[in-house]
Amino acid sequence: MNSFIKLSAGVLAISILQPSFASNWRDEGSWTHSGHAPSVLREDELIYSWHVSPHIVPKTATVTSVEWVIPEYRNGARRQDYKICLAINHSIDGNTCHYISDRYGSTNAFNGMAAGAEFVIMGALRGGGTYPVIATHQNTVTVKYK
């Protein structure tokens, strides 16, 4: 009888603690979106690549990091300048942009912001090159959240 009570108490303790552990594990996640890069008609044209979160991101989820991959346009432009921005309701606020120095990498500049928001890669090709450029690559954004 005494071992039955100890076993019951142990099962009760595990069942009480387990939902908390499962909740934390389930609330961490990530989403990735790859989209066709925009074609560029002329030098210095501002281009946009929109990346929308899936509907499965919890409303209360916040960003822990954002990663990107932006393949190079191969038109001979000497500079390809980019920034990544968080957009709310399809609107970009200059205060929610982060300048990107590499075509791939990650940042924690958006930590604590809504993980279900849209992210936009904005950029321009500068320093010559041949135009128009028909893009054949995809830009990718990955958002990690908790």
Encode pLDDT of 28-44 as tens digits: 899 999 999 999 999 99
For residue 27, the model assigns a pLDDT of 63
Are 53 and 115 spatial neighbours (Cβ–Cβ below 8 Å)? yes
Asked if pLDDT for residue 4 goes beyond 50, the answer is: no
The Cα–Cα gap between 70 and 105 comes to: 9
- Say yes or no: domain 29-145 is CATH 3.10.105.10: no
Residue 16 in tokens: 């009480």
Domain assignments of the chain as residue spans, ordered by start = 29-145
Chain-centroid distance of CA 91 in Å reads 16
Are 117 and 50 spatial neighbours (Cβ–Cβ below 8 Å)? no
Are 39 and 132 spatial neighbours (Cβ–Cβ below 8 Å)? yes
